Structure 1
């Protein structure tokens, strides 16, 4: 015997309310605040652990104030710059007491590793924790940061589906604020890593929860525009991170300023309304109807009673047996039920790979932008700014050409642009920058499309959980992305080759998924499976 809930259709009610009335705008304004903060937190490790200028500490010569007279005698040049990690040893016949730091006193045929360093800048953890010439430790911060997402997104998804969207959002934001602030007072490298992980593991789900709350707030016609607004606000957060870092020039001050506002989001427990879709999936129709009536009043529209009547029926008959054929019913699906469906399981695998590709290329291009010629803060802002037109292009093409076609084209374009970077001469700086920004543009369109597309192919009762599963598995890409600067040490074009190869594979996999343009959100597993059956029927026709 299977317990089921009577079928209800929410999209017609949302259409009657209007996609963006006063109620929707006010709620979106609240939801956009944690989205803005998420834009800052997502890449904060780039400016928390940047590479800085330093050189070997030369104890034999430090008594000579005019460093320009002896530095090149002691430290070798690498690509016309002083080496950060090696120095020339003293010749055997020279003692420390009679060193004048002339070129004749050092053996330039040999190099030895530096034992200590003189730091010329102090705004990075490299200075605070003495990480000179330990690039793996510096890049590990980004990997640990993104590794926390493997815990955060599934955990937040399950909590969100069980206890509600706004509860998950409030708790996750509180964790962001608490652990981010503690991290700013880290006294050693190990403490920083622990709280770097905890902050994302327990707090990074705030973005995905705010996204789901926003998407479930509007009908099919408003989803793409709502998604675009969310992504643009996220970009403003990204650009603000670079501007704040440029202004503050201190990683501890940066963390303290950006994480304090996250504590305010905990008040959403008393301010924000719960998702109507989630309330209906839990049989709480009275609460859902109350919110809908309040939204209608705020939007100054009248909701016909015939639209609300089915919701009230759910409250009167919350659970029925499947043997009662007179009631059209939908099962109260669980995550285990969804995974048992081969169609849903295939979508989880494919969507996860699409997400891996997006995060690897997206974050890889962002992280490596600070290594481009020019001001690293301006470069990072440019790479972020290009996402704004990309999101509006996404808004135009998704509803016109469909989700699948948009994804296929943008993945192929990303692959071509990334591959072409490996063939450009190094002196073509402006050409490289244009292609670099174009690559970021195309992968941003793909990333924005994936986020909304994945939310449309899974049923309501497990949407947040499966979205979190795909997003979490997809974070393999963002976890590996901080390591791409290390890959370039072995072969300059290796990151670009990885970016392009993954994008090509992803473009092929998109062909296996159904189109969801102008389709209502599936509420049950059967509704979600029907999308693929409709795709097969259209292909047969």
Structure 2
């Protein structure tokens, strides 16, 4: 990026240039001025204006993580059959009375030591103080939806979801389905009405649907509002991300990107902290979803994205924002640059007889190279979202301190996000991604077989696995976009990301598999990460290459002709 900037500076005529060089300055002979040129050479790539913008955007980015509160509001809680024959008529009875094992079978696989979903059949009645074993046969039966719960801070208690783990896990799955449905909605609003409108509407919907969900009277209502919230509010992060990155210079774009993703991790830490302090799930949801209404004020506080204004030919508004940036950054934008931005040259006429570029589907099947990449990159995305979200969700079951476990698992993402930009340009894209996948895989597989009494060691290995996949998450956007040509890049990147949602949709179901054996989720994460780590090695390295504009250039990646020419 710096080389491009230097090349741009070198191409500008000097003030004391010879008269003989004047013919080179005729209109049309110079490279058209774009916003990046102005940021690099005049307004500043990351000045006070961009910093203020980033700090403001950090708040809704943090709040976008609050939609993950289902991890606590729909958390599994210990439960057992209610023994009405012994005087238990409430789901708030003492969870482990002295006579419990007289009425409920022992379990060697459950942490509780007794079975959660079955009991012995009774042949008589006892009392809360006297419930001997001879009142029960050795035959077992199910709980008949009559349960006693260890805690009451989950929808499992309020809506009596004991022994319905798959139904309970549906909250997380619908949350992820909503993040898939939101993509076209937010994209349309953002491109049609502006980044600011998309951000304000999305954060308002987070608050609205979240607040209503706290008053859910049954589980279907809770689930309906869960998917509605993400379908209409999950665009908050992408809107904020675009807002933050569109007006920083090329040199700081990767760092800004890492900061945005780190703010999402901070939001997860904040969310878990609130859930820890305010444990009744209804009040916890209220506490998280009332503050987002304040972000509506951003409609009057934030300036619209200059890139969007220029793309929509809203030149009056664009000029006002550029002048404000100039004042805040204490820089000056030349009249020549201002005129060039507000009066772009018309696009060159299309040569007669030029062939239309083939559609993306036709191009994929015509090019074996492109086809292999289209079949490979979505697997990376599925793995990344599956392992990333799966580790976050399963963190709550590491020990009894589920809030602290979740906080640590999310906090470890922050160094992971910042590690990626440090190593991508040093050891390369392939090495970074493959190492991240395989390191995370090794940690997950090791975790599955570690003795459960090694609590501290297991936690450290688990956190290292999350660190590895966090490095991958940040790097994946860059590497995927560099493998595809400009003419198809957006479509194929969006396709990979969309297919990748399969991972985030299935991740909330993995804690249920741990009921059969605690290591099943970790082995699944490890196997998927190994597969993707190997598949990365089948693609060419993009470090030091030109960003491909055409299909031919994309096919040439890894060959000498694709290497970047530094001027």
TM range, normalised to the smaller chain? 0.7 to 0.9
| Equivalent residue, structure 1, for 2:522 | 496
| Equivalent residue, structure 1, for 2:132 | 102
Q: 1:18 aligns with which of 23, 37, 44?
A: 44
Per the alignment, do residues 347 and 430 of structure 1 end up closer, same or farther by CA in structure 2, a change over 3 Å counting?
Answer: same
| Equivalent residue, structure 2, for 1:411 | 437
Per the alignment, do residues 309 and 97 of structure 1 end up closer, same or farther by CA in structure 2, a change over 3 Å counting?
Answer: closer
The question of 1:62 aligning with 2:87 is answered: yes
| Equivalent residue, structure 1, for 2:228 | 198
CA RMSD in angstroms comes to 3.4
Distance 1:160 1:514 in 2: 34
| Equivalent residue, structure 1, for 2:105 | 76
TM-score, structure 2 length as denominator? 0.82
Map 1:150-161; keep pairs closer than 5 Å: 150-161=180-191
Per-residue CA deviation, residues 498-535 of structure 1 (Å, 9 max, x unaligned), is 21232233234445667666889x7xxx7375862662
Per the alignment, do residues 266 and 286 of structure 1 end up closer, same or farther by CA in structure 2, a change over 3 Å counting?
Answer: same
Structure 1 unmatched ranges of 5 or more: 1-5, 326-330
Residue 52 (structure 1) shift: 1.4
Kept in 1: contact 2:99–2:132 (CA 8 A): yes
Kept in 2: contact 1:150–1:473 (CA 8 A): no
| Equivalent residue, structure 2, for 1:527 | 549
Residue 474 (structure 1) shift: 1.6
Distance 1:161 1:346 in 2: 31
| Equivalent residue, structure 1, for 2:301 | 271
| Equivalent residue, structure 2, for 1:3 | none
Q: 2:418 aligns with which of 388, 392, 399?
A: 392
Distance 1:291 1:467 in 2: 31
Structure 2 unmatched ranges of 5 or more: 1-30
Kept in 2: contact 1:359–1:475 (CA 8 A): yes
Q: Secondary structure at the match of 2:51?
A: helix
Q: Secondary structure at the match of 1:89?
A: strand
| Equivalent residue, structure 2, for 1:139 | 169
Q: Secondary structure at the match of 2:515?
A: helix
Per the alignment, do residues 97 and 168 of structure 1 end up closer, same or farther by CA in structure 2, a change over 3 Å counting?
Answer: closer
Distance 1:140 1:105 in 2: 38
The question of 1:360 aligning with 2:382 is answered: no
Question: In terms of mean alpha carbon deviation, does 389-398 or 233-242 score higher?
Answer: 389-398
Residue 425 (structure 1) shift: 3.4
Distance 2:194 2:371 in 1: 24
Distance 2:485 2:300 in 1: 28
| Equivalent residue, structure 2, for 1:51 | 76
The question of 1:322 aligning with 2:350 is answered: yes
When the two structures are aligned, how many residues end up with a matched partner?
518
Per the alignment, do residues 257 and 172 of structure 1 end up closer, same or farther by CA in structure 2, a change over 3 Å counting?
Answer: same
Question: In terms of mean alpha carbon deviation, does 505-514 or 146-155 score higher?
Answer: 505-514
Per-residue CA deviation, residues 197-256 of structure 1 (Å, 9 max, x unaligned), is 000011101101211222222122101211222122212111111111111111111111
Kept in 2: contact 1:338–1:345 (CA 8 A): no
Distance 2:372 2:264 in 1: 30
Q: Secondary structure at the match of 1:527?
A: coil
Distance 2:487 2:309 in 1: 10
Per the alignment, do residues 350 and 288 of structure 1 end up closer, same or farther by CA in structure 2, a change over 3 Å counting?
Answer: farther
Distance 2:182 2:414 in 1: 27
Per-residue CA deviation, residues 41-93 of structure 1 (Å, 9 max, x unaligned), is 2x2111011111332211111279997342221122223523222111123xx
Kept in 1: contact 2:430–2:537 (CA 8 A): yes
Kept in 1: contact 2:102–2:131 (CA 8 A): yes
Q: Secondary structure at the match of 1:274?
A: coil
Question: In terms of mean alpha carbon deviation, does 354-363 or 457-466 score higher?
Answer: 457-466
Per the alignment, do residues 171 and 55 of structure 1 end up closer, same or farther by CA in structure 2, a change over 3 Å counting?
Answer: same
Residue 193 (structure 1) shift: 0.7
The question of 1:163 aligning with 2:193 is answered: yes
Residue 466 (structure 1) shift: 6.4
Q: 1:420 aligns with which of 446, 457, 460?
A: 446
Map 1:104-503; keep pairs closer than 5 Å: 104-107=134-137, 109-115=138-144, 116-314=146-344, 317-318=345-346, 321-323=349-351, 342=364, 350-453=376-479, 469-503=495-529
Q: Secondary structure at the match of 2:85?
A: coil
Distance 1:166 1:462 in 2: 27
Kept in 2: contact 1:183–1:192 (CA 8 A): yes
| Equivalent residue, structure 1, for 2:8 | none
Distance 1:33 1:111 in 2: 53
Q: Secondary structure at the match of 1:77?
A: coil
Per-residue CA deviation, residues 279-322 of structure 1 (Å, 9 max, x unaligned), is 333344554344233212211112344444432332xx556642
Residue 437 (structure 1) shift: 0.9
Residue 468 (structure 1) shift: 5.2
Per the alignment, do residues 530 and 8 of structure 1 end up closer, same or farther by CA in structure 2, a change over 3 Å counting?
Answer: farther
Distance 1:347 1:14 in 2: 34
Distance 1:458 1:421 in 2: 36
Distance 1:495 1:320 in 2: 55
Kept in 2: contact 1:89–1:106 (CA 8 A): yes
Question: In terms of mean alpha carbon deviation, does 170-179 or 427-436 score higher?
Answer: 427-436
Q: 1:89 aligns with which of 101, 118, 121?
A: 121
Kept in 2: contact 1:348–1:466 (CA 8 A): yes
| Equivalent residue, structure 2, for 1:328 | none
| Equivalent residue, structure 2, for 1:538 | 560
Per the alignment, do residues 95 and 101 of structure 1 end up closer, same or farther by CA in structure 2, a change over 3 Å counting?
Answer: closer
Residue 10 (structure 1) shift: 2.7
Kept in 2: contact 1:390–1:444 (CA 8 A): yes
Residue 158 (structure 1) shift: 3.0
Kept in 2: contact 1:144–1:479 (CA 8 A): yes
